[in-house]
Amino acid sequence: MKLLVTGCAGFIGAAVCQQALLRGNEVIGIDNLNHYYDPALKQARLNLFSDHKNFRFYPYAIHDEKSLFSVFETEKPNRVVHLAAQAGVRYSLENPQAYVESNLKGFVNMLEACRRYQTEHLVFASSSSVYGANQKFPYSVHDNVDHPLSLYAATKKSNELMAHSYSHLYQMPVTGLRYFTVYGPWGRPDMAPMQFATAIMKGEPIKVYNHGHHERDFTFIDDIVTGTLKVLDHVPSSDPLWSGETPDPASSTAPYRIYNIGRGQPEKLLTFIELLEDNLGKKAIKQFLPQQPGDVISTFADITDLQRDIGYSPTISLDQGISQFVSWFKDGFFHKMLSF
């Protein structure tokens, strides 16, 4: 199988590329290495597999239609894992146009490219943030998600709607994955694990929003990658039980599915911090702050559908995941982080 991975230098994208290459796939990577955070970290991730004989890299932006289509024309990938996007809830409050360009225009370009070149299966990244103001726990893909709390979340919900329209119109197999708080080695420096670990080691305060009352469904990167590739191998078909009278948001008469992909076990943010402290061997200086606009208080994934359809079974506990993350972080990477 020839697999195209967008956002291949990102946290999840790089891990997907590594695992896909290990299992024998030919992998085509696209990433524009933008400056949302230091491109040096993205390049360091790429260096882990860029010299593999079955990997080829294109430094393109997905909102550049001509460049994106040229990759499809040249490579003709069988399947696509679309992970490129402008990430971050808080950044969307300051730079909304970046989300329109990448998450909306770029996503339409991806759908159109998959249509024109008859891709067998498009798997794309949605987000747990689409649940927004929902307070029914655990979050279920069968519930409506019509009240996003940030522009980032709104663009991810829009991606799901646009993907369904293409799946319906062109019978194009599409699966959306709502990722829940992914963490682990090579993670993003703008996310809590990296920010907290770096600040703790430097003796600087960490910002703990909502006075520490957040809960998150922390999911280790290895479990995420295993699930993503299993989904890629599971091409969706029409749901024979779907009814327009009682429409299920998670499926369709089209070859379309939406899944939650998380651990299915929320943890208190303060517990996460305590585990970091224990593994780093140093206490955090906590600066407790009010909740930020766009944040949700808790996330909790109902992963029943993914367990049923692909046998998804996350295996890494929070204790184990934090231990692996800190081992990697302390193994020389903290010093490199000072430059990122």
Kindly give the interhelix angle for 221-233 and 11-22, rounded to the nearest 10 degrees: 60
DSSP state of 301: B
- What's the CA gap between 281 and 286, in Å, rounded? 16
Residue 152: active-site member: yes
Task: Please report, for residues 194, 223, 316, the alpha-carbon distance to residue 184 in angstroms, rounded to integers and kept in the order given.
Answer: 9, 10, 11
Contact 332, 251 (CB under 8 A): no
Task: Please report, for residues 6, 47, 158, 226, 257, the alpha-carbon distance to residue 326 in angstroms, rounded to integers and kept in the order given.
Answer: 28, 21, 36, 21, 35
Which phi and psi angles does 243 have, rounded to 5°? -135, 135
Task: Name the strand (E) or helix (H) holding 84.
Answer: none
Catalytic residue, from 58, 91, 131, 152: name it: 152
Contact 43, 9 (CB under 8 A): yes
Residues serving a catalytic function are 152
